[in-house]
Structure 1
Amino acid sequence: MRTRERNLYRVLSLAVAVALWYMVGADRNPQVERTVSAELRARGLPAGLQVLRLPSRVEARVRGPRSAMVELGTNSLEAYVDLSEVTEPGEYRVPVRAQIPAPGVQVVSLEPDEVVVSVDAVARRQVPVEVDLQGSPLPGVVVGQPSVQPGRVAVQGPRSLVQQVQRAWVAVDVSGLRASLTQSLRVRVVDASGAELAGLAVQPQNVQVTVPVGEGTLTRTVPVVPTVTGQPPPGLSVALVEAAPSVVTVRGPQDLVVNLSVVLTEPVDVSAVEGEVRRRVRLRLPPRVRADEGSTVSVRVAVLPTPVSREFAVVVRLRGASPAVEVALQPSAVRVAVVGPKEAVERLRADQVEAYVTLTGQETGSLRLPVRLEVPEGVVVAWLDPAEVSVTVRRR
């Protein structure tokens, strides 16, 4: 009997010890709750289908021992939706499922606990890659047609997204470019508005773009300006300098030709020239610039007696007036300067220079008429002051 009592006593003592151990452990490692955020993923979707829209994250309320909860990381919770029963494109309301591998930790609640998932058929298409050149190269540099390798990329994803693809392109900055350029660039896939489309797989993601650069050429037509050097003999002066052809078509590097407004010639020496001469002279062209007409032109130079000028006060005559009217001119005289060879100008008399106005069919009143001049052959009018006079017509 005493043996049985002793055994019962031992069992009760062990039970009390275990209970006390649990009580002490619970006090030291109590149950706690916390909220954990997790990325929501899709599982089990059959081949040929793809998720188009799915909420990105869910929040879970989890409970467990404090020691286990402390060790929970940001990636401890696995949240997912099971799409194994989906067989065709559409929208499906499905429950959110979650699991957490930490021992003793349980998921109490999920927010949201169900979501709407949009599923679309997978589509694939080939899209040519376009190159957008941005910026400006250095002056005189011409950017050629870019080449792309490969020239097309495969775009894959939900059919509704693939159908929105308007173009695939890469951007190349050619600012300050001096030489040909080769770069590996990421392909951007955009819709009709130019917005980049997310959720599509592009293969390959990068393409190799080569931008050829060369020296730019320019063609333009410019006048030829002959140049002379030296002083003509005493009493003579250069009366005429002209080139044949008078204009040429030049071509060459763009940065040189763009600022070329005229082409000068090698100078013609007039120190010993009397009368008219013709010389074949070279054009003074910048390096690497040529003229379609050749490198030389013909220059004609006329060295003639130096002209002199002389001024006269000349009374303005009236022509064409009717005898029935009386005409008054204001002023009645003008000053005229003539130019010509010294001998011709010196023997010219004032009465050989005629100034006049012509009045035809004029009623009474006032008007201004231009003054006309007549001078002997061999001299020309340099200037006239004034060029018009006031005319007053009255009846007699």
Structure 2
Amino acid sequence: MKKIFTENIPTKLMALVMAVALWLYAINRHTGDLTTTVSLTVSVPEGITVVEQSTSKITIHLQGPQNVIDTVDNMIKDRKISARYVIKESPDGIEDQLKQSIFIKKEHLDLPPAVKLISVYPDKIDVVLGKLQKKKLKVVLQKKGEPAVGYNIVNEFIFPGEVEVTGPLSALKEASSINTVSVDIGGISGEQNRTFPWRIEIDQKVTINRGDKTISVPVVCKEDVRIWLQIMEQQDTRLFVKMRVKVIGPAEYPYVIKLQDEFADVKVKGPKLLLDKLNTEDVILYIDVSSLKPPGPYKQPIKCILPKNIELVDKLPEVHLDIRETLHSVEAR
């Protein structure tokens, strides 16, 4: 048994090496195909920016040893492989805009040597380069959400009102303003009046109109702004119809009062939250007859008692009344 393992050792080692080599050769000879999509980044020198790019993704067809193709596939899924094209155009060669077409090759993908690039789609990518400039733009506050029920934003203030922006010459010639990032005002109430100012960043793009299209162009702004919002309770009005007019006089008033119209309409205003809770019992209409004596008729203004922070919208009308002595008061004479 010992002879079996100890005889012809060099020959046996050579056979093992050849077997491993053949196995590796067989693996590498097995060709794999991969069609997938990768992101495309176009880099430009300082002083230039990419205004438009026909696509930010390309579809590539690769071939190579199956084990290498599998590795490349995993690297693309992990975003470790993408396409990157470097433009070397000088800013001095661009007056305003410059359109170029680029073609992606294997060297732009950083692929292993064993992988072959069969095709790229689209095979031509159009880019528009723009020369950069600086410009002051007005700041516009962007809001999302709604204030708490019963509250409104009645005023807003932004400081500074203008910021310096760096962007393509062609876009900044047409732009007059730039937005802040969206500020969430959902559910805010008067309590927030004490928390201002808020520091808000500037959105890194400007929006311009090109024909029937609206285009967003990337820009750079290194400033931020502070904002103040004036939040007040929402004001509203409410109409109370056919409210009874009460007659108020001194105790044991000896005269009889007859109103020509015992009812009146009253319109009030105030915070919406208060008005929504207001009942007819909270609104009192009356006339004071303390100083009136027969004979009549009289014309008296209607007065009103309202809860705090509620006001009349319109002046109340006058009421016509007759006044006469009671039988008891006549006999007392």
TM-score band by shorter chain is 0.5 to 0.7
Within 2, Cα distance between the matches of 1:301 and 1:213? 47
In structure 2, the CA distance between the partners of 1:120 and 1:176, relative to structure 1 (3 Å rule), is closer
Q: Structure 1 residue 48: deviation in Å?
A: 1.6
TM-score (norm 1): 0.49
Deviations 1:103-161 (A, max 9, x none): 5423333415554332221233332222367757644x553311224433444333333
Question: Of 201, 204, 221, which residue of structure 2 is paired with 1:203?
Answer: 221
1:313-332 matches, within 5 Å, as: none
Q: Structure 1 residue 290: deviation in Å?
A: 7.4
**1:84 has 2:93 as partner:** no
Partner of 1:95: 103
Amino acid at match of 2:155: Q
Q: How many percent identity over aligned positions?
A: 16
**1:70 has 2:88 as partner:** no
Q: Structure 1 residue 265: deviation in Å?
A: 4.2
Partner of 1:29: 28
- Does the CA-based 8 Å contact 1:62-1:105 persist in structure 2? no
Question: Of 208, 211, 215, which residue of structure 2 is paired with 1:191?
Answer: 208
**1:121 has 2:131 as partner:** yes
**1:107 has 2:116 as partner:** yes
1:136-155 matches, within 5 Å, as: 138-139=149-150, 141=151, 143-155=153-165
- Does the CA-based 8 Å contact 2:157-2:228 persist in structure 1? yes
- Does the CA-based 8 Å contact 1:266-1:284 persist in structure 2? no
1:212 is paired with a residue whose SS is strand
In structure 2, the CA distance between the partners of 1:186 and 1:266, relative to structure 1 (3 Å rule), is farther
In structure 2, the CA distance between the partners of 1:290 and 1:82, relative to structure 1 (3 Å rule), is closer
Amino acid at match of 1:303: I
Within 1, Cα distance between the matches of 2:224 and 2:18? 67
Within 1, Cα distance between the matches of 2:142 and 2:41? 37
Amino acid at match of 1:46: P
In structure 2, the CA distance between the partners of 1:146 and 1:136, relative to structure 1 (3 Å rule), is same
In structure 2, the CA distance between the partners of 1:33 and 1:59, relative to structure 1 (3 Å rule), is farther
Partner of 2:308: 287
Within 2, Cα distance between the matches of 1:67 and 1:257? 75
User: Which structure has greater strand proportion?
Assistant: 1
Amino acid at match of 2:87: L
Deviations 1:230-266 (A, max 9, x none): 7865xx6336799xxxxxxx99845579999x97347
Within 2, Cα distance between the matches of 1:124 and 1:137? 40
- Does the CA-based 8 Å contact 2:33-2:62 persist in structure 1? yes
In structure 2, the CA distance between the partners of 1:301 and 1:38, relative to structure 1 (3 Å rule), is closer
TM-score (norm 2): 0.57
Q: Structure 1 residue 101: deviation in Å?
A: 5.4
Question: Higher Cα Rg: structure 1 or 2?
Answer: 1
Q: Structure 1 residue 26: deviation in Å?
A: 0.9
Amino acid at match of 2:190: A
Within 1, Cα distance between the matches of 2:81 and 2:310? 75
Partner of 2:329: none
1:128-277 matches, within 5 Å, as: 128-131=138-141, 135=146, 138-139=149-150, 141=151, 143-165=153-175, 167-169=177-179, 177-181=188-192, 184=200, 187=203, 189-192=206-209, 197-203=215-221, 207-214=225-232, 227-228=247-248, 233=254, 237-238=256-257, 253-255=270-272, 264-265=285-286, 267-268=288-289, 274-275=294-295
- Does the CA-based 8 Å contact 1:33-1:61 persist in structure 2? no
Within 1, Cα distance between the matches of 2:87 and 2:285? 84
In structure 2, the CA distance between the partners of 1:132 and 1:268, relative to structure 1 (3 Å rule), is farther
In structure 2, the CA distance between the partners of 1:179 and 1:192, relative to structure 1 (3 Å rule), is farther
Structure 2: state its 5+ residue gaps: 1-11, 238-244, 262-266, 313-318, 327-333
Within 1, Cα distance between the matches of 2:189 and 2:131? 48
Within 2, Cα distance between the matches of 1:31 and 1:58? 26
- Does the CA-based 8 Å contact 1:238-1:303 persist in structure 2? yes
Within 2, Cα distance between the matches of 1:77 and 1:290? 70
- Does the CA-based 8 Å contact 2:106-2:117 persist in structure 1? no
Q: Considering only aligned residues, what root-mean-square deviation do their CA atoms show, in Å?
A: 5.4
Q: Structure 1 residue 200: deviation in Å?
A: 0.8
